[in-house]
Structures are given as C-alpha cells and as structure tokens.
Amino acid sequence: MTIETPVPTAEKTQVSRRGVLGSAGALMIGLVMPGPARREMIAAAAGVSASVNAWVQIASNETVTLFISCAEMGQGIMTGLAQILAEDLMVDWTKVRVVAAPTDAVYNNPAFGMQATGGSSAVAGYYTPLRQSGAAARDMLLAAAAQTWGVTPSQCTVSNGVVTRTGTTQTLTYGQLAALAATMPVPTNPVLTPDNLLRLIGKPIKRVDLPLKVNGKAVYGIDVRVPGMVYAAIKHPPAYGGTVASVASNPNVVNLGNAVAVVADNTWKAIQSARSLSVQWTIPSASSSMTSASILTQAQQLMTSGPALVAETVGDAAGNMGLATKKLDVTYQFPFLAHACMEPLNCTVDLKTDSCTVWAPTQAQTLVQSTASTITGLPISAITVKPTFLGGGLGRKFELDFITQALQIAVAIKKPVKLTWSREEDFSNDWYRPFALVRVQAGLDANNNVVSWIYRNVSESILAQHGYIDHGVEDSQATEGATGLSYNFMSRLVDWVEHPATVPVGFWRSVGNSINAYAVESAIDELALLAGIDPLALRQQLLVNDPRSLAVVNAAAQMANWGTPPASGHARGIAFCNSFGTLVCHVVDVSNPSKYSVRVNNVWTAVDCGRAINPNQVEAQIQGGIIHGMTGALWGQIPINKGMSTVKNFSNYRMARMSDMPKVQVQIINSGQPIGGMGEPGVPPIGPAIAAAYYRLTGTRVRNLPFFPGAPGGGDS
Amino acid sequence: MVTLNVNGQAYQVNADLGTPLLWVLRDIIGLTGTKYGCGIEVCGACTVLVNGEAERSCDMDLSEAVGRKITTVEGLSTDNSHPLQKAWIAQQVPQCGYCQSGMLMACASMMKSNPNPTDAEINAEINNICVCGTYQRIRAGIHTAAKL
C-alpha cells in the first residue's frame, strides 16, 4: 500500500478518454452513479493531458490506483474511501496505490453536487457509487478472463487480483487482464460482496497517509514550493468590513481593496513587512462601534421582539404550556469561536498566460476552480486545482477568502506566489462559529411528560452572509440540532431570529449542532433535576419510541456504570445528539474543579453511524470531536471590540492540551441503518455532558459559555 | 553566508541573521517538515532539536542556531525506522498530522532524559497543541516507543 499526494514539481498521473484505450494496457472505470450508468472507459496514458473521470486504474504491472476525491484533513478519508472502492474489486490491498484526485465534475460528492468535503458527508455520499464502481471493474476483469479462456464468467473465481479458471490451475492476473477488460461492457448492476465476506469494510485498516506524516514528507498546502515563486503575507483592516483608503505605492505591495498583500523572498520577511506597513483604512461606522456587549444587548432585544422564523412546530406548544405543573425557562449564551486549524491559511498560484495552477488546502475544490476562473478570466478547463493535505479543515477551509487573495496577488505581480496568513490574521479574520442566544421554555406535567417545548435561537445567518440564501429567510444551519429531535415532546415550537451583526460567521465543525445540542441537552438535564428524576431515566422515557437512540444512550450509560455512585469528589453527566445521521452519547466523569478548568477524567461514548467503515478511525474521530468540543465549551471565546476579535493568537485562546485529555472509550454500534457521518458528530454532546457533570460537582449550571472565560492560553514548556 | 548543521548536513545559508530558524528551515533550506503554527512559541508545531534538546524554532534566530546541531523531523529517519515513528504508525496517532512533526521532536527530547515516562510525566512535559485531539494516542505511542 502506498499513497501518492501531489508534490509541486512532480508530474501528476494523467489519463485520457477512450481514444487511447488499451494503448497503455490499463483499465479505468468511471463512477457508476444511480440513474443512467456511466459508460465511459478511460485508460491511463501517462503524459496525455485530458480530464480525469475515473476512480480505479489497473496497470499492466499489477499496480492498482484508486483516486480519492475528498480532501484529507485528518479524518482518514483517503483510507476510508479506498477501503470501500477496493472491497468489491477483490484486489490485493498491499498493491493498492491511493492518489488524491484532481478537480473534475466526475468526482462530485453526491451530497453536494460538487467536489467538496464537509458536512460529514463523504462516506455516506460516496459509499454506494464507490462499491458499485469497484464491483463493476471486478466483473469486467472476470469477463475478460472468461473470454480469454472461452468460458463463462461463472466458471471463473477471483481472489486478491488473480482470476482462476474453476477446476483448473489456470490463472490470469488483473494486470494481464486490464487491457481486455477495458473493452468489456460496464455492468449496470454488479453484485456486491455480501456482508459476511467483507475483507476491508468494517476493519481497522491502517491509514495510508500516516507514513508520510511522521517524517515530514507529507505535503500540506503551506509546504508547496514552485520554482521562482515569491512569498506573500496579508494585512486585513482593523475592523470587519473595512476597506483600503490609501496605501503608498510599492512594487511589493498589492492593494486588494479589502486587504493589502506584501510580497518578499521568504514568508518571514513578508509577514514582518505586512505588520509594519502603514495603511489608511475606511471602517464602516456600524463595525467600529460593534462590541460583544452591543451584540449581546441586541440579541436580548431580538429574543423578546423577534421577528422569528418558525423552523419546526408540532402541536400547540404555547397552549400546552398551560398543562404544565412544573416549568423551565432558561437562556444559554454562546460566544463566537475560532477554528484555529493548526495549518494557517495559505494558497499557492502559478498563473501563466493560458493556464492557472492552484495548490490549496481546501475543502471546496470545485469552488476554488470556479473562483480561479472568475479572477483570472481563464476558462475552467485552463484551471488546475492541485489537492494537498490539509492541516485541519474544520469548516474554515471551505471558505474562499485566502484563495481569492492569492489569485488576486498572482494576477497583480505576474509571478508564482504562495500566500501564507500569519496566525494573528487567522484568529482576527476567521469565519467564526456564530454568537448565539438560546431560550428554552419547557413544561412538565405531573407524570413528567414534556407537554411543551418552546425553543428560540438568536444568531447571525451563516448561509445569508455567504450569499447562499437571502437575509430574512430561515437558515437551516442556525437550527440544526434543535429540530427533528428524537425526544417525544407532546408539543414543540422551534424558531430562529436573525441577528444582524456583521461579524463573519461560518461553518465550525458540526455547525449549529454544537450550539443547539448544548442548549437542548442542558435543558433536558435541567428538566430532569426539576422533575427530581435521573437524567438517564428522563431520556429513556423521552426515547421510548425510538429504539435506535435508546440503544445508544443505554450503551454509553452501561459503559460508565451509570447508577453506581461516582468516586468521591467526582461527578458524572450524560448527553446525546443525533447529527449528520450519526447518534452519539457521551457520559463523562469529572473532578478537581479549579479557577480555569475542571478535570475530565473519562468519557464513555456509544456511537451508531449505521456502519463503521474503519472502526479505528471512528474511534479517532470521537476522540478528536471530544477535544474539539472541550476546547469550545470550556475555554473558547472570541470577544469583539471595535468591530474586531480581541484574540490574536493561541496565547489568549486556550486549547485543550495533553493534560486535558480524558481517557476515552468508544463502543461502536453497527445498527445497519443508513450510513451517517463521522467527522463532526463527536463534537455536539461533549459540552452538555460536561455541563451536567459540572453542575453535580459544583452546583454551578453553566449557561453562559465558555465555562472558564479568560483562561491563559499557555506557552512554552 | 553562514553554515548551518541540520540533520548532520552542512547547509550554506544566505539570510538575515535575525531570521527565525523555522523560516530558514522551511523557505531557504526547503525542509518543510517543521511547521509554522503560531510564531510565538505557544503551539509547538515548529519544535526541533538543538544539540539534542527540544526548542521552538519560530523564536530562535539564525544567529543562535549557527554552530549548533539542528535535528528536524526529517532527521529522525527518512524510512520511518525511528522508534517514535514506528510507534506513531502502530498506534495510528496522526489525524491531520500537521502538529506531529513538533510532537515527535518534543517526545524525542523528553525520552532522551526519561526513556519510559508515565502518563503524568507526559502530561507535564508535552504541551504542544494538537487541534485534532490525538493526545490519547500520543500517550499510547510514547509507551509503545519506550518498549522498542
């Protein structure tokens, strides 16, 4: 098993369409999509430039190349999708080579209609088409063997890339069969390997990218080097929405209108020059007066006055509140949060007269291509987007600001250029998780039924700010995690009020779920206390009609020995969330509260993602989601003053570190339900699980996040 | 022009002596395994060994590095034969992998003086940031490497 990622100066595998079929002795098969089957067969022909639209390539030397369409940002997708593709192909896994696919419509994520990585959608979106592609290729290889021997395919068997004629010792290898197989018709409905014979799917296959990630060979966007390139740094306005009023003319300075770039012969010089550069800015008055306090005040007014857009309503929630014998009315407050990807934003552009190559750690390959076309004026066909590893994506690298800037700089200076943002620019100019205010009103009757659930979220609109929807229209991102809850409330009303603040907001790992799950699950915990019953028992009661959710909650509780008393000085909490089609329940054990922290000793997690493709990586995503959620809930906050983040670096943005890492145990439930995502669902329930435990430990209910504002960021050891 | 000893090799470097070692390694020598994360010695992504001790290269001037032995992640081994590299793969430690160069160097430095650290010692010693949250597997990787 090897992996190939783009190295800037290396020639990429290039293949052409059917015109050169067979000349290279290779088989390629396009994605077998539902609906009209894709019939193209394309062959490998190194050096021939053409659009690539294939997933599997088998060369005469037995090398099997799998093209992986998604961005590898740590979630192990290059391995996961390769497992799916290789399963029905019945290939020798040790001979598989995994290659990051270029940007082409054939690689579009069925969940998006474009090539993009996000929304925990990769495995769910590509699972069926990739299995069909692998199986179709296998059947074509079998058909080629059968034709060679003058027998029917049913008289042939295949194992590890070798076809055997039944009842004989005759064999043919995939490499020998590839050229002939490429001429066989593409089967429209190939038989998939039955579950009990799966060799790769469901197995903890070692990740294909890790050998490169322990010796410095992995090429991230920031590592790209192009001959003759210069290095650029960026300087943004001191408040959001600012524009350049004036900047002195200088051949190394590029005025981008809403920012200024400086180029130099290394990154350090560029960053230093950008810092010291004098720029006059025009700042919108609404921005210069914007502070965390003004945003909160406005949110409190909007919470009362609306106007609210209804996201979900079942029954008469307002009327039913009259049936309640006990009522909860609580408001939770969430700060802006930064993504803080370990790899700062960067993009490299090599613009020539008739072509443009872009290297970027991006989650939005298709959008990078179209952006490059727009800025350079070149046709899409002249734009090559080269995938690189991402040093974290987390939703930040779905954005196009850093891509746009690098392209604009390249157009202006007419040299290959790599733009690298300083960490200070990254923290100051993020598309943050939105500030939100959430009010939950709930009523219990005498039997502890939740007779009414009224939920309102006030926050900026991510989708409107990006131009995906109009302002004043319901934004699904704002209420995800608050709608479609599994709990059998007797009535419910979920609505949202758009906050008009102009702080840039975006997609932060699990997006609305991380906000709404905190409010929903904390409110459930508070309802249990109000009812005087155990929070697990209340959830069991509310999930009585949802056996799948109930199984997840019960599994986590059992792992944690829920019901037995915690150790002295410890407390437990539980929370559940169904996001991206995956159900996660965390139970936590906490102790040792202090001014700026609480020790999270253990997390017991049950997860049902339908089917785990690689259980080791499911576990890794749960571990990572817990840390991401802990950073966000315990310490994360981007305060705003005069229209700008006051956080500039990790020194005042406390991240979870080694000493914060709880012992995480994960139980995977393969329910056989439709496959859900794994990149994000570990995040939402960890904050409220800790909040529930923290209340029992300290008597303090944390309704204003973070738990520990002002915690020092920490420094050198 | 100064001479810099990196991974046992002598490099002639033409750069301002105030340039941080990180950027000399990355942009001038072309050893991009060492990563930029914060530039202020907080995150640890740029950790290298200087005369065998972990140092954050983002805040070490070129002038301070001259005359010392610099080891970067590329110097652990290029064939993944170093015990920490083997252990990192065995325990499937990295996710995005961006912080792992610095993590590996910090761990290599720690294990020179403490070849078999406890979890408490690891917690106290390793404070590099991993946003992916691989800390539990880093601990496991260190314990595995200690046995190799």
- Chain A partners of B76 at a C-beta cutoff of 8 Å? 214-215
Q: Which DSSP state fits A620?
A: H
CA–CA–CA angle A78, A79, A84 (5° rounding): 105
Could you identify the residue written with the tokens 């089917």?
A: A611
Considering chain B, what is the average pLDDT of its residues?
A: 98
Give residue A35's pLDDT band: very low, low, confident or very high (50, 70, 90).
very low
Q: Which DSSP state fits A199?
A: S
For A161-204, the pLDDT digits (tens) are: 999 999 999 999 999 998 898 888 888 889 999 999 999 999 99
Q: Is the pLDDT of residue A30 over 80?
A: no
Q: Is the pLDDT of residue A26 over 60?
A: no
As a whole number, mean pLDDT of residues A388-405 equals: 97
Nearest residue to A431 via CA among A505, A363, A499, A500: A505
Q: Max CA-CA distance within chain A?
A: 83
| Predicted local distance difference test score (pLDDT) of residue A4 | 52
Give percent of chain A above pLDDT 70.
Answer: 92
- CB-nearest partner of B98 from A214, A392, A650: A392
For B120-135, the pLDDT digits (tens) are: 999 999 999 999 999 9
As a whole number, mean pLDDT of residues A383-397 equals: 96
Q: Is residue B34 classed as helix, strand or coil in its secondary structure?
A: coil
Determine the residue among A342, A423, A428 to mutate to test chain B binding: the one whose Cβ has the most chain B Cβ atoms within 10 Å. A342
> Three-state secondary structure along A250-305?
CCCEEECCCCEEEEECCHHHHHHHHHHCCEEEECCHHHHCCCHHHHHHHHHHHHHH
| Predicted local distance difference test score (pLDDT) of residue A63 | 85
| Predicted local distance difference test score (pLDDT) of residue A12 | 30
As a whole number, mean pLDDT of residues A35-52 equals: 26
| Predicted local distance difference test score (pLDDT) of residue A43 | 31
Could you identify the residue written with the tokens 């003004």?
A: A294
Give percent of chain B above pLDDT 90.
Answer: 100
A528: Cβ contacts below 8 Å, ≥ 6 apart: A534, A535, A537, A538
Nearest residue to A212 via CA among A53, A512, A1: A1
Angle between helices A122-149 and A174-181 (to 10 degrees): 90
Per the CB < 8 A criterion, the answer to whether A10 and A38 are in contact is no
Considering chain A, what is the average pLDDT of its residues?
A: 91
Give residue A713's pLDDT band: very low, low, confident or very high (50, 70, 90).
confident
- CB-nearest partner of B92 from A269, A340, A620: A620
- Chain B partners of A659 at a C-beta cutoff of 8 Å? 123-124, 127
Q: How far is A595 from chain B (nearest CA, A)?
A: 19
Size of interface A-B (CB pairs under 8 A): 207
Give residue A47's pLDDT band: very low, low, confident or very high (50, 70, 90).
very low
First-last CA distance in chain B: 41
- Chain B partners of A268 at a C-beta cutoff of 8 Å? 19-20, 22-23, 27
Q: Is the pLDDT of residue A680 over 90?
A: yes
Q: Is the pLDDT of residue A62 over 90?
A: no
Q: How far is A659 from chain B (nearest CA, A)?
A: 4
Q: Is the pLDDT of residue A624 over 90?
A: yes
For B49-104, the pLDDT digits (tens) are: 999 999 999 999 999 999 999 999 999 999 999 999 999 999 999 999 999 999 99
| Predicted local distance difference test score (pLDDT) of residue A103 | 86
- Chain B partners of A209 at a C-beta cutoff of 8 Å? 94, 97
| Predicted local distance difference test score (pLDDT) of residue A106 | 83
As a whole number, mean pLDDT of residues A62-74 equals: 91
Give percent of chain A above pLDDT 90.
Answer: 83
Residue of B nearest to A229 (CA): B27
Distance CA A606, CA A623 (A): 12
Q: Is the pLDDT of residue A9 over 50?
A: no
Distance CA A567, CA A704 (A): 28
- Chain A partners of B137 at a C-beta cutoff of 8 Å? 620, 623
ipTM for the predicted complex: 0.98
- Chain A partners of B122 at a C-beta cutoff of 8 Å? 658
Q: Phi/psi class of residue A120: alpha, beta or left (left: φ > 0; alpha: ψ in -120 to 50)?
A: left
| Predicted local distance difference test score (pLDDT) of residue A3 | 56
For A466-515, the pLDDT digits (tens) are: 999 999 999 999 999 999 999 999 999 999 999 999 999 999 999 999 99
Amino acid at A657: R
- CB-nearest partner of B20 from A206, A214, A268: A268
Q: Is the pLDDT of residue A246 over 90?
A: yes
Q: How far is B79 from chain A (nearest CA, A)?
A: 8
| Predicted local distance difference test score (pLDDT) of residue A58 | 86
